[in-house]
Structure 1
Amino acid sequence: MTKYKDLNVPLRTIMTPGPVEVDPRVLRAMAAPILGQFDPAFTNIMNETMEMLRAVFQTDNQWAFPVDGTSRAGIEAVLCSIIEPGDKVLVPIYGRFGYLLTEICQRYGAEVTTMEVPWGEVFDPEVVIKKIHEVSPKIVAIVHAETSTSCMQPLKEIGEACRNADVLLVVDAVASLGGVDLKVDELKIDAVIGGTQKCLSVPSGLAPITYNNRIEEVINKRKSIELGLKTSQSEFSNNRIMSNYFDLAQLQDYWSPVRLNHHTEATSMQYALREGLRIILEEGLENRFARHKLNEKALVAGIKAMGLELFGDQKHKLPVVTAIEIPSGIDGDEVRSMMLEDFEVEIASSFGPLHGKIWRIGAMGYSSRKKNILHVLSALEGTLIRKGFNVDRGESLQAALNVYDEYKLQNFVNVKVEADKITI
């Protein structure tokens, strides 16, 4: 007789910047029977996953596959596979995760140059481009969507500049992939890392990546040295990839028809990712991005109607995460605790200089639904009233509902116009 009871997980409305709620269809897919990793039925699932990842990344890259592990595993796999000791790397930092990129690069022996703006701002691309010309790095590593500040960095000009200067551009798109329009090829990004636990609405545990032939050339050159095609011991020591698990040269062979026996695949997570990607493509990328923008608009309208202020540069706001300034005299952690205990709604605080100063509400993937937007607004309003904040009572939900009603009306008009065109 065990002292442990059956697992009974509470049902929450998760409105954090990750993890988010998982689509029930994904959970059902995870319950499918286990297959051997070299079973043709499973390798076909792997091939379909790669094909769908290319569509979601909006790329023609040959390589688009998940690395087993959380998003950080994907970041480390890309960086450790292309950084050689002494390589110059430029990291523009505008939030917590720029520091993570810096640490990983330093651990693999890079000579890292950083540049920073205050949290809540993004970089003027021209400032980054000027720094690229000053430093002449091999790699620029940058975050696309910084969840710690709810800001999103423009990449078009930076991508152009990196390509013209023959600099590799590596982008952390963990928070934006699947929720924000990210045209990898058009933006001239060389390597991109995503995450399953955010806009893809799949449990944490895989890190989808894609990279082009410029990255592959670096990987294959180092692979040839390790295979002894160049025999200098010093060259081998300086160029070998330090990680076995995150070695993209080996992972390429694992995901190619070679099917190198590199590791045992996380079978159920592959089922989950395949189903999550299928759902995204079924919805359609444009429709999915529009849904996230609509729910963001309703959430922001409700927040403002409540008498709260948004944090950060709104011109460059990340659509899937909304940062709110905590009012003076209000304990932000107490509000979050009450929302979780009394309403079963979870929102997030932030990190470093912003801890205790802002709340962050994520509306990502399956969590980005009208029901969830209305629920989080009502929970926040009810909690703030109990905590003594002078809320404009009842206005929040009405403002959000107005956004949805306006959308329905506009959609009806558009449908009618199209129908009239067809009739004519």
Structure 2
Amino acid sequence: MTATYGEIDPPQRLLMGPGPVNAHPRVLRAMSADLLGQFDPEMTAYMNEVMALYRPVFGTQNRWTFLVDGTARAGIEAALVSMVAPGDTVLVANFGRFGLLLTEILGRIGARIETVDAPWGEVVPLGAIADAIARTGPKLVATVHGDTSTTMAQPLDGLGRLCADAGALSYVDATATIGGMEIAADRWGVDIVTGGLQKCLGGPSGSAPITISDRAAAHIQRRKHVEQGIRRDDIDDGEGVRIGSNYFDLAMIMDYWSEKRLNHHTEATTMLYGARECARLMLEEGLEARYLRHRRAGAAMTAGLRALGLPVFGDDRYRMPNVTAASIPDGIDGETVRRRMREDFEIEIGTAFGRLAGKMWRFGAMGYNARKHKVLLTLGALEAVLRAEGYSCLVGEAVPAALAAWEAAP
């Protein structure tokens, strides 16, 4: 007998982990709008609006600012597979799990990978990156802006100039920070930046905003596909290689987003509506107001966790405002606390990866959830659960500490 399934009716859970987070209601409403054909003039007008809306989000004037259909990782892979040929030397500035992800993707492409590393909880000094560039002579330098595995944010001022002076391209994965920290693609001088909706932008996973400099676009176009997009012959494009992906070929996607509107894939209309509304909300709020709200939320979360006696992980100077990691106390089962937070309070908090697994919880306060009351609810619930699990802490200290930190955040 065929099983009968009911209508989807998920719990109204408060997602206060490292992502995804709850989508803004306006984003969800935008995504319920009627579909359009991909070449309908109304649809292509929306595509042009998305390009314009995301330029200030990325801090750029780049012509090539658009969406890659897929999760944030689709944007990462599209950038790397379109810029890097087998055998190219790529330098990765690595300070967490998502730096390691870049090396994994590059390994599949066949790149020659070099790394310059920082211990988890720290960032890579710009001088160390400069030394590594001089030592390795890379064609591309790649890094993550904010790595949610360690909660650290890599300083990027000066990176693009270092790379350009060495004749290298530059790539930044800003999945965890776009919408919550300043993204300054033009000031940084970096060539490609990619992001995702599901964290500080306050949307669902499934669309990857990207911006590409003219310099990077020219490099990508030199590896160009056959225009019809039907047959991929080996083409002598000056590099003697072709791009190893059809779906993630940025040259083909750029043709689709250009005035030529050359068919590449069927645009994910509903996700485009959602991405458009994410950017509209951000610009409506104002960039500086948006970043201040995230700084306040992060400061409040950090202060509240410390008031509970939980050591906060990593270097305070470089912590992202939107994700905070705190140590699991001795004698407390981290997964039991996460389960009770979810079952008793409908609040989700995150676990940790790799060498931090079983040692840390990760608390997110970003996008639609970077709000005072949501941070306070999370801290109050955490205190109740910890006390129920036998942890000794000062009663009623976390929420006042968080309130004071919210007001004092610069």
TM range (shorter): over 0.9
2:246 aligned residue: 244
Relative to total residues, which structure has the larger helix share, 1 or 2? Answer: 1
Task: Give how far 1:308 is off.
Answer: 1.2
Q: Take 1:324 and 1:146, find their aligned partners in 2: how far apart are those partners?
A: 15
Deviation string, structure 1 residues 302-346 (Cα, Å, up to 9, x no partner): 111111110011111111111111111211111111101111100
Contact 1:195 1:208 in 2 (8 A): yes
Deviation string, structure 1 residues 91-112 (Cα, Å, up to 9, x no partner): 1211101111001111112111
Q: Percent identity?
A: 50
Using the size of structure 1 for normalisation, the TM-score is: 0.92
Output aligned runs, 1:46-195, within 5 Å: 46-195=47-196
Contact 2:225 2:251 in 1 (8 A): no
1:419 aligned residue: none
Task: Give how far 1:5 is off.
Answer: 1.4
- Identify unmatched segments of 5+ residues in structure 1: 411-424
2:344 aligned residue: 342
Q: Take 1:108 and 1:19, find their aligned partners in 2: how far apart are those partners?
A: 28
Q: Take 1:68 and 1:154, find their aligned partners in 2: how far apart are those partners?
A: 28
Contact 1:226 1:240 in 2 (8 A): no
1:381 aligned residue: 383
Residues 306, 101 of structure 1: alpha-carbon distance in 2 compared, 3 angstrom cutoff: same
Q: Take 1:89 and 1:307, find their aligned partners in 2: how far apart are those partners?
A: 42
Kindly provide the amino acid, as one letter, of the partner of residue 343 in structure 2: E
Task: Give how far 1:225 is off.
Answer: 8.4
Kindly provide the amino acid, as one letter, of the partner of residue 82 in structure 1: M
Task: Give how far 1:165 is off.
Answer: 1.3
Contact 1:87 1:111 in 2 (8 A): yes
1:210 aligned residue: 211
1:309 aligned residue: 311
1:280 aligned residue: 282
Output aligned runs, 1:17-56, within 5 Å: 17-56=18-57
Deviation string, structure 1 residues 213-236 (Cα, Å, up to 9, x no partner): 111111111117889xxx986768
Residues 99, 406 of structure 1: alpha-carbon distance in 2 compared, 3 angstrom cutoff: closer
- Report the 3-state secondary structure (helix = DSSP H, G, I; strand = E; otherwise coil) of the residue aligned with 1:170: strand
Contact 2:158 2:189 in 1 (8 A): no
- Report the 3-state secondary structure (helix = DSSP H, G, I; strand = E; otherwise coil) of the residue aligned with 1:382: helix
Which protein has the larger Cα radius of gyration, Structure 1 or Structure 2? 1
Contact 1:225 1:235 in 2 (8 A): no
- Identify unmatched segments of 5+ residues in structure 2: none
Deviation string, structure 1 residues 111-133 (Cα, Å, up to 9, x no partner): 11123222111111101110110
Task: Give how far 1:59 is off.
Answer: 0.1
Kindly provide the amino acid, as one letter, of the partner of residue 28 in structure 1: R
- Report the 3-state secondary structure (helix = DSSP H, G, I; strand = E; otherwise coil) of the residue aligned with 2:188: coil
Which residue, 386, 402, 405 being the options, matches 2:404?
402
Q: Take 1:361 and 1:260, find their aligned partners in 2: how far apart are those partners?
A: 43
Deviation string, structure 1 residues 194-226 (Cα, Å, up to 9, x no partner): 011111111100111101011111111111788
Q: Take 1:260 and 1:385, find their aligned partners in 2: how far apart are those partners?
A: 60
Using the size of structure 2 for normalisation, the TM-score is: 0.95
Deviation string, structure 1 residues 175-206 (Cα, Å, up to 9, x no partner): 01110012110011110010111111111001
Residues 225, 114 of structure 1: alpha-carbon distance in 2 compared, 3 angstrom cutoff: farther
Mean Cα displacement is larger for which, 109-118 or 374-383? 109-118
- Runs of 4+ with >4 A deviation: 224-227, 231-237, 404-407
Contact 2:21 2:369 in 1 (8 A): yes
Kindly provide the amino acid, as one letter, of the partner of residue 306 in structure 2: K
Contact 2:224 2:237 in 1 (8 A): no
Deviation string, structure 1 residues 36-58 (Cα, Å, up to 9, x no partner): 11111111111100000111001
Residues 233, 11 of structure 1: alpha-carbon distance in 2 compared, 3 angstrom cutoff: closer
Deviation string, structure 1 residues 223-251 (Cα, Å, up to 9, x no partner): 17889xxx986768942111000111110
Residues 239, 306 of structure 1: alpha-carbon distance in 2 compared, 3 angstrom cutoff: same
Deviation string, structure 1 residues 39-84 (Cα, Å, up to 9, x no partner): 1111111110000011100101100111000011001101111111
Kindly provide the amino acid, as one letter, of the partner of residue 254 in structure 1: Y
Which residue, 320, 327, 330 being the options, matches 2:329?
327
- Report the 3-state secondary structure (helix = DSSP H, G, I; strand = E; otherwise coil) of the residue aligned with 1:216: helix
Contact 1:298 1:403 in 2 (8 A): yes
Task: Give how far 1:6 is off.
Answer: 1.8
